[in-house]
Structure 1
Amino acid sequence: MKYLLILFLLVFTLGCKKSDIPTYHGQDGISFYTKYFSDPDSINYSFALQPTNKLRDTVLIPMRLVGKTSTDPRRIKLRAADSSTARANIDYILNEIDLPANQTSVNYPLIVLNSPEMKTKTLKLILEVDPGSELVAGAPGVAVDYSENLQQMTVNITSQLIKPNYWDNIEFVYGPFSVTRFQFMIRVTGLLNFDPNVIGSSEIFRLQVMLRNAIAAYELANGPLIDEFGNQVKF
């Protein structure tokens, strides 16, 4: 039986021609993408969380090729979807960029502008590939590594404190996000960024001890610290 199976596989292999191997056909495209359990399908950006007072900044948006590589660079042009609330050249700037030759991915540099309205609002920018782009909008789908192609990427822009993208990775240590909790953490530690990839995974636990001592001292002097949702802040 074993030899019969080997013979069958040999015949099957010899019977497969090079032309039988499926290849991609169609116009080459570009898509936004997210990594499995890593990158979000939307991005939160706050000028309030920057170490210096900035009037503009750059947010890198990951994009990748859907199709075949080329020995020539190819132009990428984005636009804002109609449902966006952010305003072109007031809250953001979209420049055309190239996907470099022989490359399959690129970080699109979105320029965000610190407009006065962001002091009280979070503005939504929904990015999509412009129909006039040399690389068209790539088809959505999930790759073998479980990363996902997206036809749109939402960027929330503000100068208020909002939930950072990494918070889900630290919620088990610091608790659910609230502006009150976040403000207390910033005031006690002097930090603006609690991302484990930035401060280190061991540091988040050391800071937890610091925050527990600080909240105990606060409660002794002022009573419980209640956040905007009516919940007591604990660490």
Structure 2
Amino acid sequence: MAQSLDSLAEELTCSICLGLFNTPVTIPCGHNFCGECLELAWEACKLGEYRCPQCMCPFPSKPDLRKNTLLNNLVIQLQSLQLKPQEPEPVLLNVVKEDPCYSDGVLCDSCMALPAARTCLTCMASFCQEHLRPHLESPAFIHHLLKQPLRDLHARKCQEHEKLLDQYCREHLCCICCYCLANQSSATPAPYSRAKWRGREISATSCSH
């Protein structure tokens, strides 16, 4: 919405004063200016020389300046919209696809009272809308992965290192965390869903380190 208003304001800007049109007029070449701005520009020119201040198109005589009511009405509408308070659009950074394991009953790990709005797979915690704000507003959290609130977050943690199980170990046929990866030469990066292998689900606890 704000971007659309900015684009409209640019179209309704006088190229002389660089402000919104004030009593806009249109000259024969098709360009528009504030009536007063154009009169002042022509007064500063040589006597009897009238040109468009934008494209420098010459006119044999001073054009008859009439108010462009359409542009004037557009300026009035734009100004009324700019005065209205604009609700900020919610922006979610690095939100991954919804997961079938999400639940509306997950509580915020910060206040332990309000329902969680997102789960951060980097922090390994869930946050309500208020406590999620740093993730949405601070550049420090720009690379954190946000997901729909997860009720099985504990099952996605490595029991030894408390990190996300985001790697797959071909030797033990289970998911491991980045710390486990340092000790497993046969581990390869894979989504958590790779824990389902050969038609059976392998739990995180089945992987010996």
What TM-score do the two structures reach when normalised by structure 2? 0.24
Structure with greater contact order relative to length (CA < 8 Å, sep ≥ 6) = 1
- Which one has a bigger Cα radius of gyration? 2
Q: Normalised by the size of structure 1, how large is the TM-score?
A: 0.22
